[in-house]
Structure 1
């Protein structure tokens, strides 16, 4: 599936994936997230994302909410440690409506104080709801320990003190620093002719002036290996084990992707699920994950268990990791692992919204879009020796930290 791209004179990158579907997608991906916040701005990136829906120079929040909903479309947004996505899904005949609305939200948001006060309360409720979910909360606390206070370890929602300090100037300051065309991508999928998309963007943005983008990220200097236990009023013990992994540009990230699928991926036949759940009945959920940032990365393994089974479950996890480090996969095992992950990728590629968001993220960070065929070809070249090497780097015991909620 080939894509089309163009760069406007102001630096905005435009990428479009043609499809035959009557349903279209378009949005802005901004290269700014939690890690780009300055001191005193804890949670500001996520707060700004919320406030994009609360009023522009010509629209109040009610008009924003109804603009796409009234024609059966959807308007969505989310914030990560490194990106903000704002996008819409709609029938193709409403493409111009979606483009105009999104562009208005991105470049003309006003941050009215009456809306700020209401939205701060909404986010505080979101934070309190999050605290009620230890299986999610443990990831944020783990990253904050692992990255030793670096902003990439901060949780996305922020905290009450910082949120209560935000005002219109806070939001406008963040927008002016990061929401500039050269720091974002407009990404699109559907049957709209690409030249018409480019023309719309040129017409809408050519008369706007933007400051030069100059922000430079500082990579985490080091990671801290730690082992912490905390008392929590939970029925289960929640455990997170993890450590340093590769960034999104590292050549070993693809072998690690396959290795992660073997040890704790979504298949019920992954090694951790077979060991901890199927053979020993110690957990309901156990999984592993890889997070690739632009200049660092993290590997993690999570499980929840009855307190009396914590040590046994931990021992089984470390036993499975030792097998990964010590025993090379046979040709049969390697072929089966590749076949499984290629099938999973093919199935997930049928999710059009996921495909669309992957297009935006890929172009934002790599200035290209790797198709499913590209990914499959890379997986097919992985060797058992590469997997053994990666296992010994990422899952070495002296690289792993542990956080336990008792």
Structure 2
């Protein structure tokens, strides 16, 4: 599967993946997220993502809402710690319409004050809903502990205080600082001549002026591991333990990805699920995850259990981590772990939206997109020695943080 690329004169990178499907995709990926907010801007990246749908120089919110919906299409967006995606899914014949609308949204949004007041209420409700879900909330609080208050650990949604301080100027300022061609990517997938997409973007962007991107990302400083216990009014005890992981540019992230799948991936046969749930009946949900950022990463193990079983569950987790650090995988175990991960990647790769978004994120950060066969090859190249080395570095109890809700 070959993709096509182009760079506009204004510096905007473009990547297109041909597809025979009548359903098409396109969008903008912005290299800016929560960690790019200033001290008085917590939640602004996510707020801007919401507000770009609320009015541009030539459209009101109602017109934006109906532009793709009226032809059966969808408009979507999301914000993460380091990027913001705005994209559309539609039938092939509406490609030009989608390109024009998305360009209008990301470059010409006006942040009308009357819409801000309504959207703040929406996001505050989102925050309250989030606070009602300790299994989600604990991840954000854990990252804040892991990064010791650094911007990378901030909650994406922000706080009530910060949201109430935002106005039209706040949104336009963030847009001007980060929504610039040199800091963005236009990515697309569909059965259409790529030259037509390039032509449409050149037309729609030729009259827009941009300022240079204003971003200064600082790598989180080293923090000594510690345990934090918080009393919460919850039925279960929630436990999250982990450490700093690898950046998206570190080759060791592939062995760590394989280790995570073996330890606490989605398979019912993961080591933690077999030990904590199948053998001992202590948990309903247990998982191990690894997140890579541009200059660091997060490795986390989560489970929820009855408070009386919390200490026993923690001991069992440490037992499984010790197995990874001291027991080199046999040839058959390694082959089985690789086969399972490759199968899971293949199934997830059958989702076209997932392929589209994965390509966008990959090209945004790497200027390259690994097709599934390339990913399979990287997984196959992992050795048992690499896994053992990574396990001893990442899953060392002396380097691990822990956050307990009980």
CA offset at residue 52 of structure 1?
Answer: 0.6
The 5 A counterparts of 1:7-406 are 7-406=7-406
CA offset at residue 176 of structure 1?
Answer: 0.4
For residues 264-321 of structure 1, give each alpha carbon's deviation from its aligned partner in whole angstroms, at most 9, with x where no partner exists. Answer: 0111100000000000000000001001000000100000000110011000000000
CA offset at residue 214 of structure 1?
Answer: 3.9
Residues 79, 85 of structure 1: 8 Å contact kept: yes
2:124 & 2:404 partners in 1: Cα distance?
A: 25
Match of 1:3 in 2: 3
Residues 223, 244 of structure 1: 8 Å contact kept: no
2:226 & 2:137 partners in 1: Cα distance?
A: 17
1:28 & 1:264 partners in 2: Cα distance?
A: 33
For residues 94-143 of structure 1, give each alpha carbon's deviation from its aligned partner in whole angstroms, at most 9, with x where no partner exists. Answer: 00111111000001000000000000000000000000000000000000
Q: SS where residue 402 of structure 2 aligns?
A: strand
Residues 178, 214 of structure 2: 8 Å contact kept: no
TM-score normalised by structure 2 residue count: 0.99
Q: SS where residue 78 of structure 1 aligns?
A: strand
Residues 145, 224 of structure 1: 8 Å contact kept: no
Q: SS where residue 315 of structure 1 aligns?
A: helix
Residues 147, 224 of structure 1: 8 Å contact kept: no
1:260 & 1:81 partners in 2: Cα distance?
A: 21
Q: SS where residue 243 of structure 2 aligns?
A: strand
For residues 162-197 of structure 1, give each alpha carbon's deviation from its aligned partner in whole angstroms, at most 9, with x where no partner exists. Answer: 000000000000000000000000000001110111
Residues 57, 109 of structure 1: 8 Å contact kept: yes
CA offset at residue 202 of structure 1?
Answer: 1.1
1:9 & 1:222 partners in 2: Cα distance?
A: 41
1:261 & 1:122 partners in 2: Cα distance?
A: 36
Q: SS where residue 54 of structure 2 aligns?
A: coil
CA offset at residue 66 of structure 1?
Answer: 0.7
CA offset at residue 249 of structure 1?
Answer: 0.3
Count of residue pairs brought into register by the alignment: 406
Q: SS where residue 63 of structure 2 aligns?
A: helix
CA offset at residue 217 of structure 1?
Answer: 1.0
1:87 & 1:399 partners in 2: Cα distance?
A: 39
2:91 & 2:186 partners in 1: Cα distance?
A: 18
Q: SS where residue 82 of structure 1 aligns?
A: coil
CA offset at residue 207 of structure 1?
Answer: 2.6
CA offset at residue 212 of structure 1?
Answer: 1.5
Residues 107, 179 of structure 1: 8 Å contact kept: yes
Q: SS where residue 203 of structure 1 aligns?
A: helix
CA offset at residue 225 of structure 1?
Answer: 1.0
Alignment gaps of 5+ in structure 1: none
1:288 & 1:99 partners in 2: Cα distance?
A: 38
